[in-house]
Structure 1
Amino acid sequence: MSALTFSMNVTLDGCVDHREGIADDETHAYFTRLMDESGAMLWGRTTYEMMESSWPQIARGEVDAPLALREWALKLEAKPKYVVSTTRSDFPWTNSHHLAGELSATVRGLKERTPEGVLVGSGRLAAELDRLDLIDEYKFLVHPMIAGHGPRLHEGGLPATRRLALVSAEPLSNGAVAMHYRRAA
């Protein structure tokens, strides 16, 4: 079974608000590389709708955007996107698919069908998947700031402390640090 990797921008105080963090070419290159290395994206409905509201238009050239953002949008357009939702079942964005049914079984099935791995980019969904013991790796881009507000990582808590092993830590020139952890044995 392939790896399910949770990746997210996070501030030093655990804030995962998409409006916080450094959005520059280096940050976009980091997330583009993560997407390129995975076989599919996995999101909750809220993240899907936020992404759907702008990236398809950028990919089609309907919105002016720097080249790095346009390249990201084009790659995102082509990437299979799976969405977990109990309130919506129609996901018209190119290569988008609804994951319905019991969460643990459907995500395990997705991992089995996606040998290149699955990248989770939704905080609340990742926390639920972590509670179900389904997250294998964590790739956080830790930004050098304290937001002082939420939402925060794992706000709902976990049943037990999750022990992780450091795989790598790579500082970026913008001050952020790319942290890669794997579940400890």
Structure 2
Amino acid sequence: MRPLRYSINITVDGCCDHRALMPDEEIHIYTAERLAEADALLFGRVTYQLMESGWRYPDASLPAWTEPFARMINAAKKYVVSSTLDHLEWNAELVRGDLGTAVRELKNEEGRGLYLGGVQGRRRCHPPHRRW
């Protein structure tokens, strides 16, 4: 049985909107290393489309240190939970039906692990003046 690992980038002020910030070199290296520990990624439709738009054909102006992450995510097998998409590319396969059953089946396969990321719904960054 392979493990299911969850990861998300979040700032101290509670921001988890990947479009609102650009992770730095340390985060890219760390995440590429974590991706190397997994056989596949498990995404919802929104996260899949966000990642595909940013990494399927990475912007040539991105720093060189994003390259290991770009290579890892492009090569990774992706499972996408969606009831609205009909066709996927980018080394991806649709997951349909009962989500609990589908995830158990994916976990029961031999391998190093599944990597899950993303959040449900809209998440907004909190203003920086928040008091702790």
- Under a length normalisation based on structure 1, what TM-score does the superposition of the two structures give? 0.61
Query: Does residue 1:38 correspond to 2:34, yes or no?
Result: no
Identity across the alignment (%): 36
Q: Who is 1:98 aligned against?
A: 94
Q: Which amino acid aligns with 2:30?
A: Y
* Distance across 1 between alignment mates of 2:74 and 2:22: 23
Q: Who is 1:122 aligned against?
A: 118
Contact 2:39 2:111 in 1 (8 A): yes
* Cα root mean square deviation, aligned: 2.0
More strand by share: 1
* Distance across 1 between alignment mates of 2:13 and 2:63: 30
1:41-60 aligned at under 5 Å gives the runs: 41-58=41-58
* Distance across 1 between alignment mates of 2:97 and 2:60: 36
CA deviations on 1:148-171 (whole Å, 9 max, x unpaired) are 16xxxxxxxxxxxxxxxxxxxxxx
Which of the residues 70, 74, 77 maps onto 2:71? 74
Contact 1:41 1:119 in 2 (8 A): yes
Query: Secondary structure at the residue paired with 1:98?
Result: strand
Q: Which runs of 5+ in 1 are unaligned?
A: 126-146, 150-185
Q: Which amino acid aligns with 2:78?
A: K
- Give the 4+ runs in structure 1 shifted more than 3 A: 19-22
Question: In the TM superposition, what is the alpha-carbon distance from 1:89 to its structure 2 partner?
Answer: 2.5
Question: In the TM superposition, what is the alpha-carbon distance from 1:102 to its structure 2 partner?
Answer: 0.7
* Distance across 2 between alignment mates of 1:53 and 1:45: 12
Q: Taking CA–CA contacts closer than 8 Å with sequence separation of 6 or more, which of the two structures ends up with the larger relative contact order? A: 2
Which of the residues 74, 86, 91 maps onto 1:89? 86
- What is the aligned residue count? 124
- Under a length normalisation based on structure 2, what TM-score does the superposition of the two structures give? 0.83
Question: In the TM superposition, what is the alpha-carbon distance from 1:121 to its structure 2 partner?
Answer: 0.7
Q: Who is 1:175 aligned against?
A: none
* Distance across 2 between alignment mates of 1:122 and 1:114: 24
Contact 1:32 1:72 in 2 (8 A): yes
Question: In the TM superposition, what is the alpha-carbon distance from 1:67 to its structure 2 partner?
Answer: 1.9
Q: Who is 2:26 aligned against?
A: 26
* Distance across 2 between alignment mates of 1:16 and 1:34: 19
Question: In the TM superposition, what is the alpha-carbon distance from 1:32 to its structure 2 partner?
Answer: 0.7
